[in-house]
Amino acid sequence: MRSLSTRLVLAFALTSLVGIGLAALFVRQLVTNQFDAFMLQQRRSELVSRLASYYAVTGSWRGFRPAVLLVGPLDRHDGGGDRFEESRWLALTLVDQNGTIVFSLNPRELGRSVTAAELATGAAIELDGVTVGTVILPNLPSGRNQEQMRYLAGTDRALGAAGLVALAVALALGLLLARLITRPVRDLTRATQALAAGELGAQVAVRSHDELGLLASQFNTMSRDLERATTLRRRMTADIAHDLRTPLTVIAGYLEALRDDVLRPTPTRFATMYDETQVLLRLVEDLHTLSLADSGELVLRREPLDTGRLLSRAVQTYRDAAAQAGVSLSVELSRPVAPIFADPDQLVRVLGNLVSNALRHTPSGGTITLGAHDEATVVTLTVTDSGEGIAPEHLPNVFERFYRADSSRHTTSGGSGLGLAIVRSIVEAHGGEVAVTSKLGEGSCFTITLPRAAA
């Protein structure tokens, strides 16, 4: 199978060949027509000149016969002696200055007065600026002598040489353009092969801003996203194994000790195993919620919700936990806010995840404030804390699954790493957006934008 470069070069060559051929035919025809017209005009001028010379010698058209034009003595331009070659034109019609035909091969035409239209088709014969007659020439094709044929043959050779040079230049330019066009394609091919071989994140150089440049840019974005998704998937698999192993190890250890009578069953030990079981259940529930959101099967029972009551409900749920942590938890609304259209249970879960996350990272004496404001078509909810803040390098990843700034992954201090991922999935399922801004040592602000309820 021919390569793309070969096909492009052949296409350039074929297009150039057709274009050059058509141009050569057009130019050849134009030159031939113009040359013939020029020669006809020259010979007609010579005939008119000989007729004027005849009238100058004889003083009238009386007794005129075309044979007198075949020899040179009457010629005032070529020095005499040259034979007039256009004998075919001697079948002319001669009209005197009064518009009367004085010579014609058709005897019936002699003495007839010609019309103005007929005179317009002829050539005036002038002598010293005075029109002494008009010659009407037969409409005969012009013949070419050998010199004229050689001239036209030389023109044909020049056109052929020019066509060959143009074709060579077109092929050279076609080869250059084919390489320039196919170079990004070759780069993409190599990068795709590297990607198929497992070299994730392969990039290509973006050499232009046209469609090929856009394709290269999109490939680079796809490759980076694929590398990132693969990295997250591998890390998620390892994190799930880790988060499952820890509580299962605790439960299995207690059960083994109880089975072997190494430990005595007590309410405290059963409570510990129960707490680890709850960790497993929460992890499984979170994973189930994420899988439903990913597949678009998360069931949402939307209804108009009073925004102020929704925030107050979240505050009431976590008021005791905030009091135990020494953190002030409150709602601040500068004015009544429009209702939102959302699933109340899912949205309470979103706010709960954000508030519990803020409680883990806000020291005693800090504050957590829930607020809201409405715009034309959306309502924005905010959860702001005065905690430790998030480092800039962690901000782009806080909504990723199992991502935690604490690499030690202690579930007692850092959670499972799924809370913020669930927040994003639920908010996006509602057609909204979630974002975060933060400064180290000053706290964080999570912003949720949701559609307003219809009036």
Please indicate, yes or no, whether residues 311 and 223 belong to a single structural domain of this protein: no
Mark residue 58 as left, alpha or beta (left: phi above 0; alpha: psi -120 to 50; beta: remaining). alpha
The CATH number of residue 251's host domain is 1.10.287.130
Please indicate, yes or no, whether residues 385 and 280 belong to a single structural domain of this protein: no
Asked whether residue 119 is domain-assigned, the answer is: no
Please indicate, yes or no, whether residues 259 and 408 belong to a single structural domain of this protein: no
Please indicate, yes or no, whether residues 258 and 320 belong to a single structural domain of this protein: no
The token pair that represents 277 in the structure block: 């079981």
Range of the domain at 428: 303-451
Q: Give the Cβ contact number of residue 121 at 10 Å.
A: 12
Q: What is the pLDDT of residue 208?
A: 78
3-class secondary structure, 368: strand
Give 378's DSSP letter: E
Give the predicted TM-score (pTM) of the model: 0.52
Please indicate, yes or no, whether residues 36 and 162 belong to a single structural domain of this protein: yes
Distance CA 8, CA 314 (A): 66
- Structurally, the chain folds into a number of domains equal to 3
Please indicate, yes or no, whether residues 308 and 289 belong to a single structural domain of this protein: no
Tens digit of each residue's pLDDT (9 = 90 or more) over 268-301: 989 999 988 988 888 888 788 878 877 777 888 8
Q: What is the pLDDT of residue 2?
A: 60
Please indicate, yes or no, whether residues 269 and 311 belong to a single structural domain of this protein: no
pLDDT band at residue 120 using 50, 70 and 90 as cut-offs: confident
Please indicate, yes or no, whether residues 337 and 387 belong to a single structural domain of this protein: yes
Please indicate, yes or no, whether residues 180 and 251 belong to a single structural domain of this protein: no
Asked whether residue 418 is domain-assigned, the answer is: yes
Please indicate, yes or no, whether residues 21 and 151 belong to a single structural domain of this protein: yes
Please indicate, yes or no, whether residues 429 and 323 belong to a single structural domain of this protein: yes
Tens digit of each residue's pLDDT (9 = 90 or more) over 359-375: 989 999 999 999 999 88
Tens digit of each residue's pLDDT (9 = 90 or more) over 24-75: 788 878 877 787 778 778 878 888 888 888 888 888 888 888 777 765 544 4
433-439 vs 443-451, strand pairing mode: antiparallel
Last residue of a domain, one of 294, 311, 338: 294
Please indicate, yes or no, whether residues 1 and 28 belong to a single structural domain of this protein: yes
Residue 156 · residue 74 · CB < 8 Å: no
Residue 269 · residue 258 · CB < 8 Å: yes
